Amino acid sequence: MLCYQCGCPLSEHDFCTSCGADVTIYKKIMYTSNMFYNDGLEKAKVRDLTGAVNSLRQSLKLNKNHIEARNLLGLVYFEMGEVVAALSEWVISKNLRPKKNIAGSYINMVQSNASRLETINQTIKKYNQSYYYCTQGSKDLAIIQLKKVLSMNPRFIRAHQLLALLYIDSEQWERARRELKKCLDIDRNNTIALRYLQEVDAVFAKEDASGNRPRAKRDDTVRYQSDNEVIIQPMNVKEPRKGSFASLINIGIGLVIGLAAMYFLVVPSLMADVRGEENQKVLEIGSQLDEKSATIVEMQRQMEALEGEKDKVEQELQGYVGSNGTLETIDNFLDVVSAYLEGGDVVQTGAALEDFAAKVEIDQMSQAVRRLYQAVFAAIGPELGTVYYDAGTQALKDELYGDAIANLEKSVFYDAGNVEALYELGNAYRESGDVEKALEAYQKLLELFPDSNRVKRAQRYVDDLSQD
């Protein structure tokens, strides 16, 4: 206990040892507050909630800072279904003593569960709605609403009381008694409930004395509200019961119809699905088969082509390879070269080289053979060109133009630098009447040998032939 003036702890004396204030009355007030708190606690322990509320309120009127009394009052309110009153007490308590106060736990307990808080709020709203129904005379609706309220919050004392009052008013004594008993189970000394119960008991006692026990007025209807509509359902009307045999027949018919529907609706659909899947698989297999067939045909074609190439190569190889397994053509070429080196005839050597070049492709031969061939060709070329030039000019003089052209062509072939051979070849073509070939020879001369003394004549022939 603290001094009201300076806040120092008080001793057993009737004055404050710190500031000297007289605390006699103050101490008595505090003691009385504690006494009421103790009384309230005792009453709460035996479920005399109304008595506990009265005592605790007295305690708080004497000392508003009695935290235990305020917390206990909140608990009692909560037990009676007065959640808002309980929260109010706990909030005030928490404000008076912010730390080490169990009221904080109580507040968290209520506020942490949002759905529970919403249910509590709905309960209060429905109770208020039923109260307004009562004031407007809609007692049936009020009863229905109060039943809902109590199904959501069975400890709501005021709802029990109001429902009991409505039952008493409608002379439903048994129901009224039941509600009052429930109310007294929560709050044993609830004054209103006790007074109502006394009234109900008096009615029962009166009727017992007359031997006519009051019977609960039976409701012929059940009423409940759905949104804004009141549903009234008659109680005594029952659905006609049919015989069990008829039920069995109906079940049987239902089963038959179900099976028929299954057979005619579901099975065809399943079969169609299965067939569709099979057709899809057949199509896939067919396409794979086509691809593989095409691959086989292509491979057969490649194989045939390879076999043809193989035969050709074998034939070529047979031409190259002699009886003793050596390359006969190369041997012949080497023989020709040996004969030429030993003083052989250039014409024969040239003919042998032409034969060798006709049998093989010089570009495909080995480098050594190609070099040897080119060396021999370069060695005999000018001499052989001269031989063919002489023969060609002689044939031209003899007006044997075919021989002249053949020999001069060879002369130009073997000795490309022989301008006279090229000039005479043009003359041979011109004399034989082959203007196109003659022009070609002259133009080649003009192109390759622009400084030659044959240029003027060649140019004149070109001009003449071009004009013709």
Partner 1 sequence: MINFEEELKKFHPSPEVEEAVDTIYNQDLTDMADLLVKLIKDSQQQEQE
Per-residue interface string for the shown chain with partner 1, residues 248-267, x marking contact by CB under 8 A: --------------------
Cα dihedral 312, 316, 322, 324 in deg (nearest 10): -60
Q: How far is the CB of 155 from partner 1 (least distance, A)?
A: 13
User: In this complex, which beta carbon is closest to partner 1, that of residue 197 or of residue 412?
Assistant: 197
232 sits in the region (left: phi over 0; alpha: psi -120 to 50; else beta) called beta
Stretch of residues binding partner 1 (CB under 8 A), selected from 78-86, 225-233, 251-259, 439-447? 78-86
The three-class DSSP label of residue 213 is coil
CA max distance for the chain: 179
Whether 67 contacts 96, CB under 8 Å: yes
Burial of 43 (0-12, 13-18, 19+ CB in 10 A): buried
Question: How far is CA 425 from each of CA 393, 443, 452, 456, 463, rounded to the nearest angstrom?
Answer: 9, 12, 16, 16, 17
Under DSSP, the state recorded for 262 is: I
Phi first, then psi: give them for residue 82, nearest 5 degrees.
Answer: -90, 80
Whether 347 contacts 384, CB under 8 Å: yes
Q: How far is the CB of 17 from partner 1 (least distance, A)?
A: 18
Stretch of residues binding partner 1 (CB under 8 A), selected from 189-197, 222-230, 389-397, 445-453? 189-197
Say how many C-beta atoms besides its own lie within 10 A of residue 211's C-beta: 6
Does residue 4 belong to the site contacting partner 1 (CB under 8 A)? yes
Per-residue interface string for the shown chain with partner 1, residues 266-305, x marking contact by CB under 8 A: ----------------------------------------
Amino acid at position 157, single letter:
I
Stretch of residues binding partner 1 (CB under 8 A), selected from 44-52, 193-201, 275-283, 327-335? 193-201
Alpha helices in 153-266 (DSSP H): 157-169, 173-186, 191-210, 244-261
Under DSSP, the state recorded for 345 is: -
Q: What gap in Å lies between CA 448 and CA 442, rounded to an integer?
A: 10
Q: What gap in Å lies between CA 226 and CA 60, rounded to an integer?
A: 44
Residue with tokens 């429905």, as numbered in its chain: 126
| Residues contacting partner 1: total by CB under 8 A | 44
Q: Which helix or strand (DSSP H or E) is residue 414 part of?
A: helix 401-414
User: In this complex, which beta carbon is closest to partner 1, that of residue 135 or of residue 212?
Assistant: 135
CB neighbours of 119 closer than 8 A, spacing ≥ 6?
Answer: 152, 153
| Tokens at 305, concatenated | 């082509």
| Tokens at 304, concatenated | 């045939």
User: In this complex, which beta carbon is closest to partner 1, that of residue 156 or of residue 414?
Assistant: 156
User: In this complex, which beta carbon is closest to partner 1, that of residue 59 or of residue 418?
Assistant: 59
Stretch of residues binding partner 1 (CB under 8 A), selected from 195-203, 226-234, 284-292, 440-448? 195-203
Q: What gap in Å lies between CA 140 and CA 125, rounded to an integer?
A: 18
User: In this complex, which beta carbon is closest to partner 1, that of residue 171 or of residue 284?
Assistant: 171
Per-residue interface string for the shown chain with partner 1, residues 198-237, x marking contact by CB under 8 A: -x--------------------------------------
Stretch of residues binding partner 1 (CB under 8 A), selected from 25-33, 39-47, 352-360, 422-430? 25-33
Q: In the range 97-156, which residues lie near partner 1 by CB under 8 A?
A: 117, 120-121, 124-125, 127-128, 131-132, 134-135
Q: How far is the CB of 232 from partner 1 (least distance, A)?
A: 23
Q: How far is the CB of 233 from partner 1 (least distance, A)?
A: 26
Q: How far is the CB of 43 from partner 1 (least distance, A)?
A: 21
Q: In the range 26-65, which residues lie near partner 1 by CB under 8 A?
A: 26, 29-30, 33, 60-65
Cα dihedral 378, 384, 390, 392 in deg (nearest 10): -90
Question: Of residues 35, 41, 85, 334, which one binds partner 1 by CB under 8 A?
Answer: 85
User: In this complex, which beta carbon is closest to partner 1, that of residue 47 or of residue 160?
Assistant: 160
Q: How far is the CB of 208 from partner 1 (least distance, A)?
A: 18
Q: How far is the CB of 169 from partner 1 (least distance, A)?
A: 4
Q: How far is the CB of 116 from partner 1 (least distance, A)?
A: 11
Amino acid at position 321, single letter:
V
Q: Which helix or strand (DSSP H or E) is residue 302 part of?
A: helix 267-320
b/e for 221-245, b at 16 or more Cβ within 10 A? eeeeeeeeeeeeeeeeeeeeeeeee
Q: In the range 368-427, which residues lie near partner 1 by CB under 8 A?
A: none
Does residue 88 belong to the site contacting partner 1 (CB under 8 A)? yes
Does residue 168 belong to the site contacting partner 1 (CB under 8 A)? yes
Q: How far is the CB of 221 from partner 1 (least distance, A)?
A: 21
* Residues at the interface with partner 1 (CB under 8 A): 4-5, 21-22, 25-26, 29-30, 33, 60-65, 82-85, 87-88, 91-92, 117, 120-121, 124-125, 127-128, 131-132, 134-135, 158, 161-162, 165, 168-169, 192, 195-196, 199
